[in-house]
Structure 1
Amino acid sequence: MTAGSRQSSPARQRSDARFWNRMARKYARSPIEDEAGYERSLERTREFLTRDDDVLEIGCGTGSTALRHAPHVRHITGTDISSEMIAIANEKLAEGGPANVDFLVATADDPSFANGAYDTVMAHNILHLVPDLDATLSRIRDALRPGGLLIAKTPCLGDMNPAIRWVMLPAMRAVGKAPPVLCFSGRALREAIGRNGFVVEAVEFHGTRGRDARPFIVARKT
């Protein structure tokens, strides 16, 4: 098992689902912390998409990003481990959303998507939350067609203030306010992407507030 990985289990999956189900409605009401940075990431992502693309988004949350990209692709499937998050996403879809989007409850490494059917897999704010980073990246590779793209934006806690890792996160977890989190650096993330069959083509930082430790990475399946 590599650094930045933890053993996955049904118990861990159930625990994660319960946490995000509990947080879903509050999460949906919360404003985006860095709106300008988010918009920049949307803009850059669209530069890599075409109207012929089939896209999978893992960890789609309440579906906002998938719905924003839908007009620029053939079809997009958003997945999340939280049934409450997906319920909110489907509520948005029912309010006149585009016909080329669907939302499903699934883990980030669900084997049913390992069919090489997607041109792009998006993984925003999710890779630090999975139980096993390498397993998830391997599954993403399996989901992609030859030459397909992984587009990810990931908080890298290894590049943040150590107090976040050693003080803030443990305290929040103790009171049920934070899920289990993998603590890796941006370099370690890029290395993990590379050893799972990708070539990194772009690394950018879109944050507009202070030091940004959430690299936006575009990597192509080899």
Structure 2
Amino acid sequence: MKNEATFWDNISEKYARDPIRDMAAYEYTLERTRSYLKSEDTVLEIGCGTGSTALLLTDNVARYHGTDISDGMIKIARRKVGETSISNLSFEAHTALDGIYAHDALDAVMAFNLLHLVRDVPATLNAAHAALRPGGLLITKTPCLKSASFKFQVMFKVLPIAQMLGKAPFVQFFTETAYDKMITAAGFDIIESGNHPVNPPNRYVVARKR
């Protein structure tokens, strides 16, 4: 985990400056997420990065916790929130699992562009299920890279070399079907799903704890 944290620490400032690649898809799923949140909710976002999405959603809930494996990302997130008057938003440096273990009685667990970077997706989903209140929501957006077009598959061939050189993180490849099955196997019922964008498919899923 240390190497993964170091990778994200090293690119944290660049990550904070980079524009969102598909703003239309981002804004659509942001609004869909906002529609599920309630003013009395306590929510957790794992893999929150530099806190950009958290800052946009925190007004919709009572308490918002953001965690990320990277101290560098969290420092930037804290700097951002320190420039506002927001008081219901906190950031902590944790792995995905430790971030979930640090909280309970949650109304929603959210993970955006994260779970394909997690080594044990089923364990992460199971932990999220345990941390949620009955009927709580899992809201995720996850690239399903095994379903990407041929053009992207060719690009992915160089990934192992980039990883060996420390220029790319650990990445998992799975299809939308396999991802949906992992969610339902963890004890959730999917109530909304779609790919935004379509290629490579970035799977948006809202699922309710059974």
If the TM-score is normalised by the length of the shorter chain, which range does it land in? over 0.9
**Contact 1:127–1:133 at 8 Å: present in 2 too?**
yes
Q: Does 1:195 align with 2:185?
A: yes
- 1:39-85 alpha-carbon deviations (Å, 9 max, x no partner): 11110100100101101000000000011001111110000000000
Structure 2 distance, partners of 1:115, 1:179, is 26
Superposition deviation, residue 111 in structure 1: 6.8
- Matches of 1:26 and 1:221, distance apart in 2: 36
2:48 matched to which residue of 1? 60
Deviation at 1:175, TM superposition (A): 2.7
1:205 aligns with 2:205: no
How much has 1:35 moved relative to structure 2?
Answer: 1.1
Q: Does 1:163 align with 2:174?
A: no
- Mapped contact 2:52–2:77 kept (Cα < 8 A): yes
Q: Distance in 2 between matches of 1:130 and 1:112?
A: 13
Change (3 A) 1:97 1:172: farther
Query: What is the identity percentage for the equivalent residue pairs of Structure 1 and Structure 2?
Result: 46
Specify the SS of the correspondent of 1:218: strand
Whether the aligned pair in 2 keeps the contact of 1:61 and 1:80 (CA below 8 Å) is yes
Paired position in structure 2 for 1:45:
33
TM-score where L is the length of structure 1: 0.89
Partner of 2:168: 178
Higher helix share: 2
Unmatched tracts of structure 2, length 5 or more? none
Amino acid of the structure 2 residue aligned with 1:163: V
Aligned residues: 207
Within 5 Å, give how 1:1-222 maps onto structure 2: 13-110=1-98, 113=101, 116-160=104-148, 161=150, 162-165=153-156, 167-207=157-197, 211-222=199-210
Q: Aligned equivalents of 2:50 and 2:90: distance in 1?
A: 12
Shift of 1:143: 1.3
TM-score if structure 2 supplies the norm length? 0.94
Displacement of 1:204? 1.5
Indicate conservation of the 8 Å contact 2:37/2:61, yes or no: yes
How far the C-alpha of 1:117 sits from its partner, in A, is: 1.4
Name the Cα RMSD after superposition. Answer: 1.5
Distance 1:96 1:119, change over 3 A: same
1:154/1:71 CA distance change after superposition, 3 Å: same
**DSSP-derived class of the 1:110 partner:** helix
Question: SS at 1:215's partner residue?
Answer: strand
CA contact (8 A) 1:55 1:121 kept: yes
Q: Distance in 2 between matches of 1:59 and 1:184?
A: 19
1:37 alignment partner, SS class: helix
Q: Displaced runs of 4+ in structure 1, greater than 2 A?
A: 111-116
For 2:127 and 2:158, the matched residues in 1 are separated by: 31
User: Does the C-alpha gap of structure 1 residues 112 and 123 become closer, same or farther in structure 2, counting only changes over 3 Å?
Assistant: closer
Q: In the aligned structure 2, how far is the partner of 1:95 from the partner of 1:111? A: 24
